[in-house]
């Protein structure tokens, strides 16, 4: 039974990875289609360009800003953040192309661009995973759980599915852990009304690692090194995303130190 459960958990994760990969492929297809359209015709000032999942609007200073409403519409349906709170973060994420590292398909870190991008998504994914593990410690699987729907999941798991009776003590325990993790992360600058959706955006945009590195390999050592991951952020992510990605990494490192476990878990 334990072996079956472990395989089931692995299949669930693989299924999630496939969904993420499909989203990335759709986004890439849309981006390439848009690039071809822009090559064939000149886009007037102030019109919207369909690049990937979010939409981008060309402005007079030749930069593009994220259209907040369409950006939020592309995220998962479970959202607790208010538009007013999201506005500040999304406005700070003005779209800027990743700066050219000058290392071609394989950079000085020894990783191809695709690997580095997936590490960005893995950082966000792993932080969400650690947050969920901290709150719902008795759970082994988190299918359907996100950081944005934690309050509703607390209500769900503390309510008997047949009788509807609420386990008040268990609900209080979970809410205490939820408040505690928010307090810990807020010291790093993490905003529960903003950064969970930012993490979803990063995962949906870049995907996550498909396979873990070989045990004891130099690649595994790199993946577990916060300094290495920070260098990946600085050489891979668009400039306007780097500050919040570094914040996610710092939060991930804080929780890893707190629970005395590796930075990334597989």
What digits encode the pLDDT tens for the residues 43-92?
344 433 333 333 322 333 333 333 444 444 444 433 333 334 455 555 55
Does 170 fall in a domain?
yes
Does 27 fall in a domain?
yes
Number of domains in the chain: 1
pLDDT of 137: 86
What digits encode the pLDDT tens for the residues 189-238?
999 999 999 999 999 999 999 888 888 899 999 999 999 999 999 999 99
**Residues 6 or more apart in contact with residue 79 via CB below 8 angstroms:** 72, 148, 197
CA pair distance 239, 218, nearest whole angstrom: 28
- Residues 25-37 have a mean pLDDT of 60
Does 253 fall in a domain?
yes
CA pair distance 172, 140, nearest whole angstrom: 20
Q: Is a pLDDT exceeding 60 seen at residue 106? A: no
Does 186 fall in a domain?
yes
Alpha-helical regions (H) of 93-167 = 113-135, 150-157
Does 266 fall in a domain?
no
Does 60 fall in a domain?
yes
Does 265 fall in a domain?
no
CA pair distance 18, 24, nearest whole angstrom: 10
263 contacts 137 by C-beta, under 8 angstroms: no
Does 264 fall in a domain?
no
What digits encode the pLDDT tens for the residues 155-178?
999 999 899 999 999 999 999 999
- CA proximity to 237, closest of 67, 123, 75: 123
145 contacts 136 by C-beta, under 8 angstroms: yes
The domain in which residue 36 lies consists of: 2-259
């Amino acid at each position: 039974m334990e072996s079956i459960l472990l395989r089931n958990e692995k299949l669930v994760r693989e299924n999630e990875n496939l969904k993420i990969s499909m989203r990335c492929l759709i986004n890439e297809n849309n981006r390439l289609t848009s690039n071809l359209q822009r090559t064939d015709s000149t886009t007037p000032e102030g019109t919207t360009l369909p690049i990937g999942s979010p939409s981008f609007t060309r402005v007079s200073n030749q930069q593009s800003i994220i259209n907040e409403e369409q950006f939020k519409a592309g995220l998962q349906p479970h959202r607790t953040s208010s538009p007013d709170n999201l506005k500040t973060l999304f406005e700070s994420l003005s779209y800027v192309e990743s700066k050219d590292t000058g290392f071609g398909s394989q950079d000085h870190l020894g990783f191809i661009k695709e690997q580095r991008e997936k590490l960005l998504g893995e950082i966000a994914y792993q932080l969400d995973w650690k947050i969920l593990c901290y709150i719902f410690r008795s759970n082994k699987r988190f299918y359907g759980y996100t950081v944005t729907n934690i309050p509703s999941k607390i209500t769900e798991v503390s309510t008997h599915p047949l009788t509807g009776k609420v386990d008040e003590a268990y609900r209080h325990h979970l809410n205490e852990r939820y408040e505690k993790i928010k307090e810990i992360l807020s010291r790093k600058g993490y905003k529960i009304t903003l950064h969970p959706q930012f993490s979803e955006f990063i995962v949906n945009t870049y995907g996550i690692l498909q396979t873990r590195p070989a045990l004891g390999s130099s690649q595994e050592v790199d993946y577990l090194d916060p300094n290495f991951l920070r260098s990946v952020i600085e050489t891979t992510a668009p400039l306007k995303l780097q500050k919040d990605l570094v914040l996610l990494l710092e939060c991930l490192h804080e929780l890893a130190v707190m629970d005395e476990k590796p930075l990334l878990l597989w």
